[in-house]
Amino acid sequence: MKKSEYHHGNLRQALIEAGIELMNEVGEDGVSLRKVAARCGVSQAAPYAHFESKADMLNAMQEHVTGQMMQVLEAAVAEKEVSAYENMLRLGEAYVSFFIEHPAYFKFICYSPQVKFRLVWEEEKEVYPPYGLFRRCADACLREIGQPEETKLYCLANLWATVQGIACLATQPNVEYAGDWKKDLRRILTDGKEM
Amino acid sequence: MKKSEYHHGNLRQALIEAGIELMNEVGEDGVSLRKVAARCGVSQAAPYAHFESKADMLNAMQEHVTGQMMQVLEAAVAEKEVSAYENMLRLGEAYVSFFIEHPAYFKFICYSPQVKFRLVWEEEKEVYPPYGLFRRCADACLREIGQPEETKLYCLANLWATVQGIACLATQPNVEYAGDWKKDLRRILTDGKEM
DNA sequence: ATGTAATCTTAACACTGTCAAGTTTATTTT
DNA sequence: AAAATAAACTTGACAGTGTTAAGATTACAT
């Protein structure tokens, strides 16, 4: 072994990325620390220099994927000249699209022990950034529409449940969504506008 | 060992029930064939007389749980003197309630490889009975309301996505649903009535 | 330069799913 | 009733898993 290869240099990041790769290939259950380590060319126990446990590495993978998603989501709401309402629709679409393009991610992310948030209206340090972004967009949207204060919480729940529900359905294995989910999501959110 | 105890008598059923028990105690990942076998007082390899693999046993567990849920759901829509609309609301409530009472079940059932259905309007032999029941109830409901034919599929998707979305949210770990989900679900489904 | 901390390897442990071979009981056939 | 067959179960083994302990190698700070 070359001396220069004893230290990997950036093993932590390499492990995270290899783990995500492997998950996309063989599913979450097929991910093992040893396989990921082998993929990075290091020994079985090497990951323990960077992670406390397998769960810890999975959490890091989840954060990484969520970060990637946030880039996509923020790009989707970047245009300034559109209405807050249109913005929220685009965000919902981008959110669902991301999960449809990466079917393994929904279960992985949404049932991660790290993902925490409260379905309330007040600003919080959400541990699930996409929800924080959605809440801010929905806030602007409802303000724009002139939604009365006392129904806003209900509207938030409705909107988020719809987005999450479509994402859940569209990523369930062996479930065919016969309609056009993008059109449907837009329509459902639109229909809810006047509530 | 007593001779009368060599053959368990009803090991298959006992394994299924012990597996479900264990899952409710330690989560799906904590379920191992060996623990389940031990819980039934048989050897590690005994389950292989009744199941092809661990996945096969998990499938059987899923069917068993789904059967239990169907009893609850059918009871919820048993009353004859209520409107089809009220009936569908009750079914939705019962569906979500069941998952809230058994938080581990949502992920377990909805991501089982056995659960299959198409979000279409035609009658099918669904492999997920709760969805079949819901589709029939929604059909009656939309008929009662006088929903035009061309929007029925969209309505079905909307209704089911809402129910599934609330169930998903309410069973996500570390996600607090601040509102009253039962009231909200009822209201969302009601608001969608006129669409 | 030397000491310390970080990074990595090897070896081992208990646990897992699964299979092969054999043992015990139930069921069917004669 | 006896024999043959099938079903249910046990023991023992195998490879793969997460995890730890002990030691080796390298980077870094003093």
Task: Read off the pLDDT of residues A73-94 as tens digits, 9 standing for 90 and up.
Answer: 999 999 989 999 999 999 999 9
CB contact under 8 A, A179 and B119: yes
Interatomic CA–C1' length for residue B23 and nucleotide C19, angstroms: 26
pLDDT at residue B123 in the model: 76
Say whether the CB atom of A25 is under 7 angstroms from strand D: no
Name residues whose C-beta falls within 8 Å of residue B129's C-beta, 6 or more positions apart in sequence: B66, B70
- Grade residue B187 by pLDDT with cuts at 50, 70 and 90: confident
Helix axis angle, A129-145 to A152-171, nearest 10°: 130
Least confidently predicted of A95-104, B12-21, B186-195: B186-195
Architecture of B1-51 per CATH? Orthogonal Bundle (1.10)
| Residue B117 contacts A where some CB pair is shorter than 8 Å | yes
**B132 in the Ramachandran plot: left (φ > 0), alpha (ψ -120 to 50) or beta?**
alpha
- Grade residue A160 by pLDDT with cuts at 50, 70 and 90: very high
Name beta bridge partners: A118.
Answer: B176
Q: Is B14 helix (H, G, I), strand (E, B) or coil?
A: helix
Say whether the CB atom of B157 is under 7 angstroms from strand D: no
Q: Please check the confidence at residue B195 and state whether its pLDDT lies above 70.
A: no
Average pLDDT over residues B165-179: 90
- Grade residue A3 by pLDDT with cuts at 50, 70 and 90: very low
Smallest CA–C1' separation from B31: which nucleotide? C16
User: Which of B153, B176, B187 is opposite residue A119, by nearest beta carbon?
Assistant: B176
DSSP structure string for B29-78: GG--HHHHHHHTT--TTGGGGT-SSHHHHHHHHHHHHHHHHHHHHHHHT-
- Grade residue A31 by pLDDT with cuts at 50, 70 and 90: very high
**Average pLDDT score, chain A:** 91
Q: Which residue has the tokens 């449907």?
A: A184
Q: Is A195 helix (H, G, I), strand (E, B) or coil?
A: coil
Q: Please check the confidence at residue A2 and state whether its pLDDT lies above 50.
A: no
pLDDT at residue B194 in the model: 53
Q: Please check the confidence at residue A194 and state whether its pLDDT lies above 60.
A: no
| Residue A119 contacts B where some CB pair is shorter than 8 Å | yes
Domain residue ranges of chain A, discontinuous segments joined by + = 1-51, 62-194
pLDDT at residue A119 in the model: 86
pLDDT at residue B1 in the model: 35
pLDDT digits (tens, 9 = 90+) for A14-24: 999 999 999 99
**CA–CA separation, A17 vs A125, rounded Å?**
26
Least confidently predicted of B76-85, B107-116, B150-159, B183-192: B183-192
CB contact under 8 A, B168 and A165: yes
pLDDT digits (tens, 9 = 90+) for A115-153: 999 888 777 777 899 999 999 999 999 999 888 888 888
Pairing status of strand A175-176 against strand B175-176? unpaired
Pair of tokens at residue A148: 């009365």
pLDDT digits (tens, 9 = 90+) for A54-74: 999 999 999 999 999 999 999
Pair of tokens at residue A83: 């209405």
CB B109 within 8 A of CB B62: yes
Pair of tokens at residue A189: 């959110």
**B122 in the Ramachandran plot: left (φ > 0), alpha (ψ -120 to 50) or beta?**
beta
pLDDT at residue B114 in the model: 94
Residues shown for chain B = 195
Say whether the CB atom of A3 is under 7 angstroms from strand D: yes
Name beta bridge partners: B118.
Answer: A176
The CATH number of A62-194 is 1.10.357.10
The CATH number of B65-194 is 1.10.357.10
- Grade residue B150 by pLDDT with cuts at 50, 70 and 90: confident
pLDDT digits (tens, 9 = 90+) for B94-104: 999 999 999 99
Pair of tokens at residue A23: 């998950």
Contacts by residues B88-92 (CB-CB < 8 Å, ≥ 24 positions apart): B88/B134, B88/B137, B88/B138, B88/B140, B88/B141, B88/B159, B88/B189, B89/B185, B89/B186, B89/B189, B89/B190, B91/B133, B91/B134, B91/B137, B92/B134, B92/B159, B92/B162, B92/B163, B92/B185, B92/B186, B92/B189
**For residue A83, what are the CA distances in angstroms to A78, A130, A137, B53, B174?**
12, 20, 10, 54, 32
Closest CA to A114 of A153, A161, A67, A74: A67
Q: Which residue has the tokens 């209206």?
A: A121
